[in-house]
């Protein structure tokens, strides 16, 4: 019996030794992997995200319901699927007198989000008669929250957050524009 006990004790010691060796090997592998990852990060930092800058393609005028001009901005025009999906994503800044005009092929219930949008915006939804039907102020950056029109819209104007308050832009006001890349569709 004592030989069986000795064999059992030797097997337990081998198992413990094996477990200690496994832990040591795994630890060494983790340290080496960590070193390689850290060294790669230091020597090859991630490429910076591509940021977009404003490119003037037209001018847009905001006026009250009687036609009195409230203010004017320079605009980029977003009139195809790719441009509408990209919108103002990956922009580090936008000036107060700049904005983006989204043009849709027909009037419909529209909804926007702020995914990959780095600046807070005011979103202005406009019907096919160029009358403002919905305004969402101070949108939350980098958000998948939905900002929807409260009535069918064909156009959306995005401007820097606070713009609509500063210039007293309200539901019922109108927009009109001229573009260098696109003739006014109405």
115 φψ region: left (φ > 0), alpha (ψ -120 to 50), beta (else) = beta
Q: In whole angstroms, what is the distance from residue 79 CA to residue 103 CA?
A: 5
* Structure tokens belonging to residue 45: 């930092």
Task: Please give the model's pTM, rounded to 2 decimal places.
Answer: 0.71
pLDDT 10s per residue in the chain (186 long)? 555 555 555 555 555 555 677 776 766 766 665 555 555 545 554 555 678 889 999 999 999 999 999 999 999 999 999 999 999 998 999 999 999 999 999 999 999 999 999 999 999 999 999 999 999 999 999 999 999 999 999 999 999 999 999 999 999 999 999 977 654 454
Local structure of residue 88 (DSSP, 8 states) = T
**Taking the CA atoms of the chain, what radius of gyration do you get in angstroms?**
30
Instruction: Decide if domain 58-179 falls under CATH 2.60.120.1140.
Output: yes
Query: Which residues, in sequence order, are CB contacts of 167 under 8 Å at separation 6+?
Result: 62, 70, 71
In the chain, where the domains are located: 1-46, 58-179
* Structure tokens belonging to residue 117: 């949008």
């Amino acid at each position: 019996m004592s030989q069986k006990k000795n064999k059992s004790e030797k097997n337990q010691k081998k198992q413990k030794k094996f477990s200690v060796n496994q832990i040591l090997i795994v630890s060494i592998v983790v340290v080496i992997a960590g070193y390689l990852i850290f060294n790669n990060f230091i020597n090859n930092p991630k490429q910076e995200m591509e940021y977009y800058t404003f490119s003037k393609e037209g001018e847009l005028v905001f006026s009250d319901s009687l036609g009195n001009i409230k203010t004017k901005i320079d605009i980029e025009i977003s009139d195809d699927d790719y441009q509408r999906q990209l919108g103002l994503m990956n922009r580090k800044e936008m000036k107060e007198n700049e904005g983006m005009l989204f043009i849709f092929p027909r009037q419909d219930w529209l909804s926007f989000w702020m995914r990959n949008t780095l600046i807070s915006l005011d979103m202005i939804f406009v019907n096919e008669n160029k009358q403002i039907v919905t305004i969402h102020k101070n949108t939350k950056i980098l958000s998948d929250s939905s900002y929807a029109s409260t009535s069918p819209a064909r156009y959306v104007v995005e401007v820097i957050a606070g713009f609509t308050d500063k210039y007293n832009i309200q539901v019922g006001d109108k927009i009109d524009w001229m573009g260098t890349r696109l003739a006014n569709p109405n």
